[in-house]
Amino acid sequence: MKDDDPDKCGDVYTLTAMKSDTRLLLIHHENGRTSEDATKLFEIVKAMSSKSSPIPVFTSDNWNPFEEGLLNTYGILEVPPYKGIGRKPLPRTIPPDDLKYVKIIKKKVKNIVVKAVQRVVFGKKEEVEEMLGIDEDDYIGTSYVERINLTIRNSLARFILKGINFSKNMRMHKKALDLFQAWYNFVKPHDSLKIEVNSESRRWEHRTPSMAEELTDHIWTLEELFEFKVPVI
């Protein structure tokens, strides 16, 4: 950047959230890399959830604003008891008992990952394992969301670093990601989501994240996606 460049120039980061069991890309948020951006991401996830559904288990890489964003979104304001000495304690935000968050800390040597450490930030390890349906020795990771981030880079030229196809307009940048999200959820089958049917004509049924989430019963074509009219609520 140059000193005389307009404010619209500069780096823009995309934060993503996905539902790991169905690979559904829930939301993308474009702006900076601050706790405010992490809070905005989780606020949208919370708004998409049913009021009767439990708080999901969150996993992420070792980026500190995620922890603060979860507290800002799901935290409870608590006033510590006053002991009668000195100033009265200020209110503080604490995580609720049903908030579960695991951070994956990757240790690198010469830019190569040599070890991944799981740290349960909120909740108890046993409760996290029960909610995820895994055993004590199973690995909790971020491979699914890392794979979707790679798919974004491979699918959208504007995400290629130091290329000539970078976004020049924030509105069109977001629209391109909206289109990617629709294609990823409804058009692109995922090999890890296929189920064995063993019918006369085929052995496997390939599925998209939206099929796994039971939002649709078939793989959409691009034509069907482009012609779909979003209902007015």
- Residue bearing tokens 């629209």: 175
Find how far residue 181's CA is from the centre of its chain.
Answer: 12
- Residue bearing tokens 């496997």: 204
pLDDT at 177: 95
Quick one: pLDDT band at residue 203, thresholds 50, 70, 90?
A: confident
Query: How long is the chain?
Result: 233
Clarify whether residues 179 and 210 are in a common domain.
no
The tally of domains found in the chain comes to: 2
179-206: b (≥16 Cβ within 10 Å) or e: ebbbbbbbeeebeebeeeeeeeeeeeee
Determine phi and psi for 172, rounding to 5 degrees: -70, -30
Clarify whether residues 201 and 181 are in a common domain.
no
Clarify whether residues 136 and 218 are in a common domain.
no
More confident residue, 218 or 144: 218
Q: Let me know if residue 2 belongs to a domain.
A: no
Taking the C-alpha atoms of residue 103 and residue 19, their distance in angstroms, rounded to an integer, is 16
pLDDT at 7 over 80: no
Query: For residue 219, what are the domain limits?
Result: 190-227
The two beta strands, 112-122 and 100-109, are antiparallel
pLDDT at 100 over 60: yes
Model confidence, pTM: 0.84
Clarify whether residues 107 and 202 are in a common domain.
no
Clarify whether residues 106 and 203 are in a common domain.
no
Percent of the chain with pLDDT over 90: 48
pLDDT at 1: 46
**What does the pLDDT look like over 20-63, one tens digit per residue?**
899 999 999 999 889 999 999 999 999 998 888 889 999 999 89
pLDDT at 161: 75
Clarify whether residues 46 and 105 are in a common domain.
yes
Quick one: pLDDT band at residue 170, thresholds 50, 70, 90?
A: confident
Token code pair at residue 74: 């799901």
**What does the pLDDT look like over 129-168, one tens digit per residue?**
888 887 766 777 788 888 898 999 899 988 887 778 888 8
Clarify whether residues 71 and 172 are in a common domain.
yes
| Mean predicted confidence (pLDDT) in 201-212 | 91
pLDDT at 139: 73
pLDDT at 182 over 70: yes
| Mean predicted confidence (pLDDT) in 82-98 | 87
Taking the C-alpha atoms of residue 128 and residue 122, their distance in angstroms, rounded to an integer, is 9
pLDDT at 115 over 50: yes
pLDDT at 233 over 70: no
Q: Let me know if residue 8 belongs to a domain.
A: no
Clarify whether residues 31 and 127 are in a common domain.
yes
Q: Let me know if residue 7 belongs to a domain.
A: no
Clarify whether residues 113 and 210 are in a common domain.
no
Clarify whether residues 75 and 94 are in a common domain.
yes
| Mean predicted confidence (pLDDT) in 211-221 | 95
| Among candidate residues 16, 36, 35, the one with its CA nearest the CA of residue 26 | 16
| Among candidate residues 158, 132, 1, 157, the one with its CA nearest the CA of residue 57 | 132
Beta strands in 7-126 (DSSP E): 13-19, 24-31, 57-60, 76-78, 92-94, 100-109, 112-122
Mean pLDDT score of the chain: 87
More confident residue, 135 or 224: 224
Q: Which helix (H) or strand (E) holds 146?
A: helix 143-155
Clarify whether residues 123 and 147 are in a common domain.
yes
Distances (CA, A) of 195 to 156, 188, 202, 212: 29, 15, 11, 10
